Structure 1
Amino acid sequence: MNRRMTVLAGAAAAVGSMLIFVGPAQAGTCGDVVNANVPGGQASWSHTCYSDGTMRISGWVKDTRSDGKCAAVKAEYQSGTQQSGRACPEGNRKDFSFYGAGQNVPVYLFTS
């Protein structure tokens, strides 16, 4: 029984360590400004909506940890996912601008 609990605890810890580097989806709406942080990454972006049902998401992403990983942002538009350039090594910052159909677009900050 103890062996099984140890294996389950180890599996849960491994899954938890993978998920910790992905920020929760920030489904932004018109006019929102988001400031997000995950271990090793920081980002800020704004949402601008247009009368034709499209949205521009623009901002920056920065690598904040010397861990060999890079920080990036992705937006999941109705027509597909758009991703920023990878910001790395530590201290590197990348600007991004996405555009597509939708007025409620999930946006993620992550490291990989």
Structure 2
Amino acid sequence: METRDLDYLLAVDEHGGIGKAAEALGMSQPALTKAIQRVEAQTGLALFQRTAHGVAPTQAGSLFLARARRIALEYEDALKEMRALRSGEQGVLSLGYSPTVPRRSFWAHVASC
């Protein structure tokens, strides 16, 4: 399974139908259907029940989608952290000071940086 598969499942749930989700994702309906079937084959469970009005998550689908949302958020957070590290906005800074320097002076100097 790839992260895009999670995006596909979340889009189907959000739009309530494969056709609408496929359009929003900029892909064909058969390609999206195939992706859903691939994930369902991996889980061994139907994640959506097809109805005349679209699709709705099954009980297993609801559980899977809840985790997919958390995974998608964690993945996005990880990417943001990596971009921040790459741009120099975020990193590890180690500070040390001599015990002869008063603590208050040290922190005042750090705060002014």
TM (normalized to structure 1)?
A: 0.26
Larger Rg: 2
TM (normalized to structure 2)?
A: 0.26
Larger helix share, 1 or 2: 2
Q: Identify which of structures 1 and 2 has the higher relative contact order when contacts are C-alpha pairs closer than 8 Å and 6+ apart.
A: 1
